[in-house]
Amino acid sequence: MSNLLDLLGNWVIQYYGWRYLIIGLGLTIQEEITIIVSVYLLSNHYLSWLGFLLTLAATFFIYEMFFYLSGRYIRNTFLGRYIERKIPNYAKLQFQLHKNATVFLILSRFVMYLNTGVLFLSGWSGLGFKKLIKARVVANIFWLGGLVILSYFSLSAVNALLAHRAEIAVVVFLVLILTIQYIIKKAILEENQAGSTLSKKPESPQK
C-alpha cells in the first residue's frame, strides 16, 4: 500500500507482539505524531482501545515520574547547584511555580518542551506529590481527549476527500497542534511576567 499510515499499520502487524511497546517508545519521542498514528491504527483495528489506554497510562506515569524525581534528587547535588546557576530568573520562576502550580502543570501539558521543564522544576522545588498527580491527571485527560478527537476528525475528513492521502492529515494536524502550543506557551509566559511584576513590592522612599 502506498499510503504512509497503511504502511505503518503493516509495520505494527509485522511486529505485532511489540506493538504496545513501540507505541510507548513513540510517546516518549514525539507524542503528537504517535497519537495520530495510533488513532489511525485503532480505527483500522490494528490496536485495541484497552491496550492503547493502558499503554498511555503506564508511559505517562513513568515519563512524568522520571523527570519529577530527577528534579527532586538532583537539586542538592553538585550538578543541581550548577544547573541552578544556569537557570535565568530562577527565584522568580520557582515563586511562580509554587503560586500557580496547578495552572502551570495543566497548561504546560499542551507545550512539548515546556511540559518536561515544568515536571523537572516541580520536583526541584519540592512540589507535593499528591498535588502533582491531581493536576497531571486532569491535564492528561484533556490533552489526550483533544488530540484523539482532532486526529480522528482530521483523518476522517481527509480520507473522505482524498482517498489514500491520509498523510496530508498528519501535516495539517501537526500545524494545528504547533499553533495551539504556541498560543498556550505565549499565555504562560505572559502570566509568568505579569506575576513577577505584581510580586515586586515597591520600595519605601528613604527619608
For residue 32, the SS3 value is: helix
Query: How high does pLDDT run on average in the chain?
Result: 76
Report pTM. 0.68
Provide, rounded to the nearest whole percent, the portion of the chain with pLDDT above 90: 14
What average pLDDT does range 94-120 have in this prediction? 81
pLDDT in tens, 111-123: 777 888 888 888 8
Q: Tell me the domain boundaries of the chain.
A: 4-197
Q: How far apart are the first and last CA of the chain?
A: 82
Here the cell at position 163 is 482517498
Q: Which residue type does 144 have?
A: L
pLDDT at 189: 62
* Closest-CA residue to 176 (of 184, 188, 164, 186): 184
Other beta carbons within 10 angstroms of residue 104's beta carbon come to 26
